[in-house]
Chain A
Amino acid sequence: MSSHFSFVPREADPSLGETTKMNLCQAVNNAMDQAMADDDTAVVFGEDVAFGGVFRCSLGLQDKYGKDRVFNTPLCEQGIAGFGIGMAVAGSTAIAEIQFGDYIFPAFDQLVNEAAKYRYRSGGLFSCGKLTFGDYIFPAFDQLVNEAANHTPGLKVVVPRGPIQAKGLLLSCIEDDNPSVFFEPKILYRTAVEQVPVNKYKVELGKGEIVRSGTDVTMVGWGTQLHVLLEVAELAQEKLGVSCEVIDLQSILPWDVDLISNSVVKTGRLLVSHEAPLTSGFAAEIASTIQENCFLNLEAPVARVCGWDTPFPHVYEPFYLPSKWRCFDAVKKLTTY
């Protein structure tokens, strides 16, 4: 299947120094490598990570750091999650990998009832803040992002759109004093290549980024969908003369309410797009918050362009995804409302 998006490489912040070409997978590997080099307690574990991982994200790490720091676990997600929490409770930095986002559900009890609530319920006596989950997600499988994020106070949930963000956000997750879930859009592993700073740097959690400035419509997305939106912004400019502001949310929980609000105050129109199903997707949270914050500025109802409320299908994938044409049509309707 031809790709439903085209990755647009970005320039890294020159103040971060020397850069080298990396795809998203290499950026993740580089972040874990640097985190382990600086912290003797840091360990990486999960299913098949020892030989480099099924997506090669942990390639070479076991040779470099030893079998006690990079190791395979038995095939059991609830065990991986619980084990990671316990390591963090004992003061170690735990980087746990769940092979595919789809398979994080057996670990949901540990994630939601335990990891997220550890500090709170113990009155701060114990915490598992040094725990980071890495999860690989399929193009349209970020319903997991929403399910993990929507109703779990205590977790931080993050999705990068490219190698530069992936490295900076993952290092932030690893060093942050709260348990975090880092979803890696699998489709970008090899396709997304850009010049990534070699040195250690962080991208602040809880903050979004304006990737393209505009004045007529605000478009919010994350992960792979951001590249779809960037293309839509081009189309809208070209075919409709509409100027779109494109924002990468980056952090789903906590999310950057002020950045989106300020943009919508300026543009008066908002489109939120994600691959996950519409009903109760994270766009619903954004839409209701913005409606509350920007009621007097909104010129049209908030538009949500999302996956349909069906399981993610095989052969019907092109019709399921919130394609650039569906997003484009939403922009058109927003500006002619």
Chain B
Amino acid sequence: MESRRHARVQEVLKTEWSFYGFSQTRFTEKLEVVDSKQVEAFPIYRATDSNGEFITPENDPKFSKELAVKMYESMTFLNTMDKILYDSQRQGRISFYMTNFGEEASHIGSAAALDPTDLVYGQYREAGVLMYRGFPLEQFMHQCYGNSMDIGKGKQMPVHYGSAEHHFVTISSPLTTQMPQAVGSAYAFKRAKNDRVVCVYFGDGAASEGDAHAAFNFAATLDCPIIFFCRNNGYAISTPTAEQYAGDGIAGKGPGYGLHTIRVDGNDLFAVYNATKEARRLALENKPVLIEAMTYRAGHHSTSDDSTAYRTKEEVDSWMEKDNAINRFRKYLERKGWWNEEAEKAWIQQSRKDVLKAFSYAEKVHKQHPHEMFNGVYAELPEHLRRQQDAMDKHLEEYGEHYPLDQFGVKK
């Protein structure tokens, strides 16, 4: 009798379970509120230790010498460009800059695992991805100067790069807006069956925006071929992660949305590469993946920020000594016999020379004609904007001497 009743109860429960949709749940008679602190945190996947030595051999993606050297050169070149442009902003030669110090391995490791035609959406601290894809050094400089050779036509602040040729969607300042957009592009790719995925980068702070929630949920419910790549560098300007979230970081959110999820050591290029490679494989099966790369923002937030106001120099130094993405990879290269002190010196010297040359060239190029200000608001120039442009021209005819026309290639 008892067992028949039990079976009936089970039958009822089974039908009631369908109410919960596809979630795999069960009934329990134990009153237990889950304490998030007791839930096991995502481990940090790493391939090498802080000396760049493989802990288990199967994690070695076995790069060719050529590829490994290219990766190292990309990281260090980015580093050199950052140092020079940061200093140039301090000298007042460009208006604004944001460095990538400490996050080089997450850029290069992920970029290398993507197909060059995969569409990338970034936040602003992903210049390494664009650099790895071969965006010309000169174009970085032209963008920061907003001169007439900038393919973005001088419309945005420095470091807001973009390149259709390199499948890198133009950066914009509003945080996280790129995330649901990236999901939309991924959906379009899925429909086009073009074997491309979308990779969208964002910081741990940006993940708090509503758009991040929208993006995770849309990607999962609409089965989009997308990789969410979170750079968790410990700070959003002055706000430490402890004030950003109380759960298990960003990775901890992934399963709640139905995303495949992994947390990686962002200072380990090999781990980032392996994780991104696997994420790309899953994404191509229309399984969206969330990667959280743990790293440390070694530089100031931007040139408008002095980070010593909220963290100590000792904290930064200890991070960089303890675990520096570039040094870690360099140790690997040196052990392989693919790099040495001499190569390092020559490379840094050459990089500096190249950056300085491109920099001083960009500085001399005049800006676009002010008419460019009216272009691109719409695909066409509407009548009201043409009239406003005429009004500006007329104004400049009489008052041109009060404007910096010579910087814009206009003869007074």
Contact = CB atoms under 8 A, between A and B. Distances in A.
B177 A113 contact: yes
B133 interface: no
B160 A121 contact: yes
Contacts of A254: 378, 382-384
Contact of A127 (B163, B192, B379): B379
A121 B152 contact: yes
A82 B172 contact: no
Given A76-B214, A90-B119, A82 B188 contact: no
Given A74-B217, A120-B377, A86 B185 contact: yes
A51 interface: no
B214 A79 contact: yes
B394 to A, nearest CB: 15
Interface in B263-287: none
Nearest to B152: A123
Contacts of B187: 83, 86-87
A73 B213 CA distance: 13
Contacts of B152: 121-123, 125
A125 B378 contact: no
A206 interface: yes
B233 to A, nearest CB: 24
A127 B181 CA distance: 12
A92 B214 contact: no
Interface string B376-409: 1111101110000000000000000000000000
B180 A126 contact: no
B122 interface: no
A87 B169 CA distance: 13
Given A74-B218, A87-B187, A117-B172, A110 B180 contact: yes
A288 interface: no
Contacts of B376: 119-120, 123-124
B189 A83 contact: no
A84 interface: yes
A129 to B, nearest CB: 6
B259 to A, nearest CB: 14
A153 interface: yes
Contacts of A114: 172, 174, 177, 181
Given A41-B188, A79-B215, A123-B376, A89 B169 contact: yes
B188 A113 contact: no
Nearest to A106: B210
A214 to B, nearest CB: 25
Given A125-B164, A126-B162, A129-B379, A83 B181 contact: yes
A146 interface: no
B150 interface: yes
A138 interface: no
Interface in A95-123: 106, 109-110, 113-114, 117-123
B177 A109 contact: yes
Contact of A76 (B155, B190, B218): B218
A124 to B, nearest CB: 5
Interface in A136-193: 153-154, 156, 176-178
B183 interface: yes
Interface in B176-205: 177, 179-192
Contacts of A113: 172, 174, 177
B185 A89 contact: yes
Interface in B76-96: none
A125 B214 CA distance: 26
Nearest to A75: B217
A61 B151 CA distance: 41
Counting chain A residues whose Cβ lies within 8 A of the other chain, the interface size class is 35 or more
Contacts of B189: 90
Contacts, number: 158
B300 interface: no
A78 B185 contact: no
Q: Which of A76, A83, A85 has the most CB of B within 10 A?
A: A83
A176 B378 CA distance: 10
Contact of B181 (A86, A117, A122): A86
A71 interface: yes
Contacts of A53: none
Nearest to A43: B191
B170 interface: yes
A120 B151 CA distance: 12
B177 A82 contact: yes
Contacts of A302: none
Contacts of A129: 379
A120 B214 CA distance: 25
A76 B222 CA distance: 14
A88 B221 CA distance: 20
Given A109-B174, A124-B153, A257-B384, A85 B379 contact: no
A83 B183 contact: yes
Contacts of B151: 123, 125
Given A85-B184, A117-B172, A126-B169, A71 B222 contact: yes
A85 B181 contact: yes
Nearest to B173: A113
A87 B184 contact: yes
Nearest to B154: A123
Contacts of B186: 86
Contacts of A73: 218, 221-222
A79 B162 contact: no
Given A83-B183, A121-B155, A125-B170, A76 B150 contact: no
B347 to A, nearest CB: 31
Interface string A200-231: 00000010000000000000000000000000
Given A89-B181, A113-B174, A121-B155, 10 more contacts: A76-B210, A76-B214, A86-B188, A110-B177, A121-B156, A123-B162, A125-B164, A156-B378, A176-B379, A254-B384
28 contacts: A41-B191, A73-B222, A78-B211, A78-B214, A82-B184, A82-B215, A83-B187, A86-B185, A90-B189, A91-B188, A110-B177, A110-B180, A110-B181, A113-B172, A114-B181, A118-B170, A119-B378, A122-B152, A123-B151, A124-B375, A125-B151, A125-B170, A126-B169, A154-B377, A154-B378, A176-B379, A206-B383, A254-B384
